[in-house]
Structures are given as C-alpha cells and as structure tokens.
Amino acid sequence: MSKVLLLNGSAHQHGCTATALEEMIRVFDAEGIGTELIQVGSKGIRGCIACNKCSEAGRCVFDDLVNETAPKFEAADGLVVGSPVYYGSPNGGLLAFLDRLFYSTHFSKQMKVGAAVVSCRRGGNTASFDVLNKYFTISSMPVASSSYWNQVHGFSAEDVKKDLEGLQTMRNLARNMSFMIRAIADAKEKYGYPELENQFFTSFPDGK
C-alpha cells in the first residue's frame, strides 16, 4: 500500500493545522492511501549546527525525532508538511526539524510527492507556503497542488471548520496527491525514474 507521512508543525495537537491535515487524512483513507501523522511542533527540536557528522554516520548527530522520522520518510511515497504561521513564516521548530531531516538523510527523495499546508488567522500564508515548498523543490520531489493555495484560515479549530473553501482545498489536495502517487508508481514500472545529474556543485572557490 502507498503511504503518506504527514507532519504537524503546530504545538497544538488538535488545533487549526491539525484540522486541515485531518481533512486530508479522511480523503487518503477513502483513496486507499495509508497515512501516519507525526506531531513535530510540540517537540523541542534544535537547529542544525553544520557539523556534517551526518555524512559519516548516515544520521543526525542529535538523536531525536529527526532520526526517528527519517526511515518513515524514506519508506513513504509522499510527505505533507503542515504549519501555522508565526510572524509571516512557518513555526521555527518545524523549520529546524526540516533542515535537519532533509540534510541528514542521504536516501533519494526523487519522485516522492510533497505538499505544504499552512494555517493562519489572516496573513502570512503565501510567504509560509513558499518557504515550505523549497524543501521539496531542491529534492526532486514533485509538488502537489490544489484548487487554491494550500491554506486554511481561523484562530481556532472551530474557525477552520467554518472555512469551507479551505477544507475543500485540503480535500482536493489529497485527491490530487493520491493520483500523483499512483501515476508515478505506474510510470516508474513502465519508464523508470528520470536521470538525475549531480556531478556539478558550483561554489566559485576561486572567486571567478
């Protein structure tokens, strides 16, 4: 069975972001896609210190939820990252988690389907959406879209339940993501994955 890993970057287990993710999970269940929801936002996640020990050990030097999540990410066909908006940006703890998760894992993420979901009261949604999508687009992960930008609005979970267009966007996103996962699996069997070049690493060490 195909599986999607969902990350809740909110500190509130049953808050606005969780309400959006739960709407997606209901669709994934109906589509026959397995899911696992991981609570990230309530954990004390420290940031990357650029020690590069992960290149030697194959895992982050800080043994916490990042290392617990890594094998689940490797096994998943898709990743949904949900976050509330804090000062026009995603939750800082979630960003620290994603920095370390993506940098310390050396397995291929090519063709894993990614989707970002943001929750806000009023503003900062599209800026946060843009930040989260960058993790996917540097990792050869196709990005799932919906009928609107992947966002819900509200100050509480009850508010989000009244955001009918936002919940509709979540359902359409989950359906599109399910389709993409199945289509990519079929294409892999028929064509294989696209060639991925990685021989060049431009850093201009000579100042040229």
If one compares 184 and 208, the residue with the highest pLDDT of the two is 184
Q: What is the pLDDT of residue 23?
A: 98
Question: For residue range 59-73, what is the model confidence (pLDDT) as tens digits?
Answer: 999 999 999 999 999
Q: What is the pLDDT of residue 207?
A: 54
Buried b (16+ CB within 10 A) or exposed e, 68-105: ebbeebeebbbbbbbbbbbeebbbebbbbbbbbbbebb
Q: What is the pLDDT of residue 201?
A: 86
Mean local confidence (pLDDT), 138-164: 97
Question: For residue range 182-201, what is the model confidence (pLDDT) as tens digits?
Answer: 999 999 999 999 999 988 88
Neighbours of 134 (CB within 10 A): 12
Question: For residue range 6-61, what is the model confidence (pLDDT) as tens digits?
Answer: 999 999 999 999 999 999 999 999 999 999 999 999 999 999 999 999 999 999 99
Residue 137: both structure tokens together: 């687009």
Mean local confidence (pLDDT), 132-136: 98
Q: What is the pLDDT of residue 204?
A: 77
What CATH number should be reported for the domain whose range is 3-156?
A: 3.40.50.360
Of all residues in the chain, the percent with pLDDT exceeding 70 is: 98
Tokens 């943001």 belong to which residue?
118
Q: What is the pLDDT of residue 199?
A: 87
Query: In terms of Cα–Cα distance, which of 127, 140, 132, 142 is closest to 184?
Result: 142
What is the chain's mean pLDDT, rounded? 96
pTM score above 0.75: yes
pLDDT over 90 (residue 206): no
Binning pLDDT at 50, 70 and 90, where does residue 120 land? very high
Contact (Cβ atoms closer than 8 angstroms) between residue 150 and residue 118: yes
Mean local confidence (pLDDT), 160-168: 98
Q: What is the pLDDT of residue 117?
A: 98
Contact (Cβ atoms closer than 8 angstroms) between residue 88 and residue 123: yes
